[in-house]
Amino acid sequence: MSRDFTKIRAWQLSDDLTVEVYKTTKNFPREEVYGLSSQLRRAASSVPANIAEGANRSSKKEYLQFLSVASGSLAEALFPPSLKTARLCG
């Protein structure tokens, strides 16, 4: 059972978030390229990727597992200390 992930509102919002994270981290200091910048980018881009992958799984159980992973990645990307540090770096 394949779902069109591009029509899933959570995917649309998380894709927008990923674009914003990339724009924001582009202005981070060079020494953060492999630190906070990389962590935020990987966490943010993992959200829509896991929604898309889960949407193409055949069982509801697998789909929900990928949504759970996406939720964890979103929590990592929005983790308050990371955002506070990001504001200080940007």
How confident is the model over 63-79, as a mean pLDDT? 94
What are 8-36's pLDDT values in tens digits? 999 999 999 999 999 988 888 888 778 88
Single pTM value for the model: 0.85
What average pLDDT does this structure show over 65-87?
83
What are the pLDDT digits (tens) for 78-87? 876 656 666 6
Q: Are 54 and 67 in contact (CB under 8 A)?
A: yes
Name the residue with higher pLDDT: 46 or 87.
46
pLDDT, position 25 = 87
Helices vs strands, H then E, count in the chain? 4, 0
Pick the CATH number of 9-89 from 1.10.645.10, 1.10.8.60, 3.30.479.20, 1.20.1440.60: 1.20.1440.60
| Centroid of chain to Cα 20 | 11
The residue type of 85 is T
CA distance linking residue 13 with residue 5, whole number of Å: 12
* Exposure string for 62-88, b = 16+ CB within 10 A, e = fewer: ebeebbebbeebbebbeeeeeeebbee
What would the two tokens of residue 28 be? 């981070």
Q: How confident is the model at residue 90 (pLDDT cuts 50, 70, 90)?
A: low
